[in-house]
Amino acid sequence: MKIARVDAFAIKLPPADTGNEGTTENLDTYGDYFIARDAWTSIYSRAHETCLVRVEADNGLVGWGEGQAPVGGRAVRAIVEDLCRPVLLGQDPFDVEYLWYRLYSAMRERGHVTGFYVDALAGVDLALYDLMGKALGKPAHKLLGGQFRDRVRVYAGIGGTDEATLVRQAQEHVAEGYQALKLHLRVSTPEILQIVQAVREVVGPQVELMVDIHMLRDVSGAIELGRGLEQLGVRWLESPTQPEDVHGQAEVARALDMQVATGEWLRTTWEWRQWIEHRAFDVAMPDIARTGLSEGKRIAALCDSFNLPIAPHVGGGGILAVAASVAYSAAIPNFQILEHAHRAHAQKARIARRFPEPVDGAFPVEDVPGLGVEIDEDAVARFTV
């Protein structure tokens, strides 16, 4: 079996109500994109955007992958089609790790060792695992080394700035069966503590709470916030300060008794290594639609050698990113919990006829070949930019 065709699709699904209401004030808008005017935050799209990768073998089997691109999906598409496709055509898809390494090495000397280029490699990698699984009739987690668990526990993400709205969302998600929640909070420290306390009071002590502040504190501010959150029984503080400041993150991690979770922007073992050496976090959050399954497995092994747990990031990833993250979570020994966007799940799945779905706060680990997603190619064509 040889690779006969490689295509990529930058897709954009119209906005949907995810239940994560936030303020529309103090935003600079650029079409579908927006960015906060008064803080160093990420640029976001009101639509769901990502880049899909389709790899077809000479026997007609097709594998689908995703290089996460919440913005800029056309950049990932161009890399797949212009740089990855020529290397992949005619190759054996079972040489998946060799192909990742060959593609990665092809741009090392030029300094493209992260960002959109490695996102493109992740999309190719996931597509190859999907293709291999279909060829063998085996789920992707079996190809990664085997099944460590029957269920992949998840936390549901909620966000906004209004306390009453967040309390209502928390109650609704717990009623849906979720026993872990992550609050995305971009407000002042006193406001965060007030919101978390209100949520804790309505969900009770048995529900795990995590807080993601999206890098919006300096080191001392992150420590101050973390100490307040510890008093409220919060499990972890996520992305406390700027990702360039490894030493600062390590100070935060040392100062707090609670877990510090981070790493969604780290795509390779080489990037993760210095963070691990500095003990700059307590929970690693690789994003499988940015690392790929091949490199993600190496990251998990590296973390495991330092007794560090993995809580995969999904964020703005689409339905293939979700499915790949479930497979990954099932196949590593040091898994802790997986991110999930409950109200965005159906929106992300509009390009699929079949896809994994959570039950009572966890994804069942299914025995479905490949990534377990049946893509609707007509829908992909409809939503392609």
- Per-residue pLDDT, 24: 54
Give the start-to-end residue ranges of the domains of the chain.
Answer: 3-139, 143-376
Reference 48, options 346, 286, 358; nearest CA is 346
The catalytic site residues sit at 313
- Per-residue pLDDT, 238: 98
CA distance 292 to 278: 24
CA distance 234 to 205: 10
Question: How many contiguous H segments (helices) and E segments (strands) does the chain have?
Answer: 14, 16
Token readout for 318 is 């689409």
Token readout for 153 is 């526990």
CA distance 239 to 263: 8
CA distance 103 to 112: 11
- Per-residue pLDDT, 37: 86
The tens place of each residue's pLDDT in the chain, 385 residues long, gives 999 999 999 999 998 654 444 455 689 999 999 998 877 889 999 999 999 999 999 999 999 999 999 999 999 999 999 999 999 999 999 999 999 999 999 999 999 999 999 999 999 999 999 999 999 999 999 999 999 999 999 999 999 999 999 999 999 999 999 999 999 999 999 999 999 999 999 999 999 999 999 999 999 999 999 999 999 999 999 999 999 999 999 999 999 999 999 999 999 999 999 999 999 999 999 999 999 999 999 999 999 999 999 999 999 999 999 999 999 999 999 999 999 999 999 999 999 999 999 999 999 999 999 999 999 999 999 999 9
**CA angle in degrees (0–180, nearest 5) for 218-315-123:** 120
Crossing angle, helix 96-106 and helix 116-136, to 10 degrees?
160
Dihedral of the CA atoms 93, 374, 292, 17 (nearest 10)? 160
Fold of 3-139: Enolase-like; domain 1 (3.30.390)
- Per-residue pLDDT, 340: 98
Token readout for 313 is 């990031």
- Per-residue pLDDT, 7: 98
- Per-residue pLDDT, 309: 98
Contact 291, 313 (CB under 8 A): no
DSSP 48-75: EEEEEEEEEETTS-EEEEEE--SS-HHH
Containing 11, the helix (H) or strand (E) segment is strand 3-13
**CA angle in degrees (0–180, nearest 5) for 12-314-203:** 115
What's the pTM value of the predicted model, to 2 decimals?
0.96
3-state secondary structure 245-292: CHHHHHHHHHHCCCEEEECCCCCCHHHHHHHHHCCCCCEECCEHHHHH
- Per-residue pLDDT, 19: 46
- Per-residue pLDDT, 35: 93
CA distance 18 to 87: 39
10 Å CB burial of residue 299 (0-12, 13-18, 19+) is buried
Residue with tokens 């971009």: 186
Which CATH code for domain 143-376?
3.20.20.120
Cα end-to-end span (Å), the chain: 31
User: How far is CA 273 from each of CA 100, 267, 295, 311, rounded to the nearest angstrom?
Assistant: 19, 11, 13, 17
10 Å CB burial of residue 142 (0-12, 13-18, 19+) is middle
Pairing of strands 338-340, 151-159: parallel
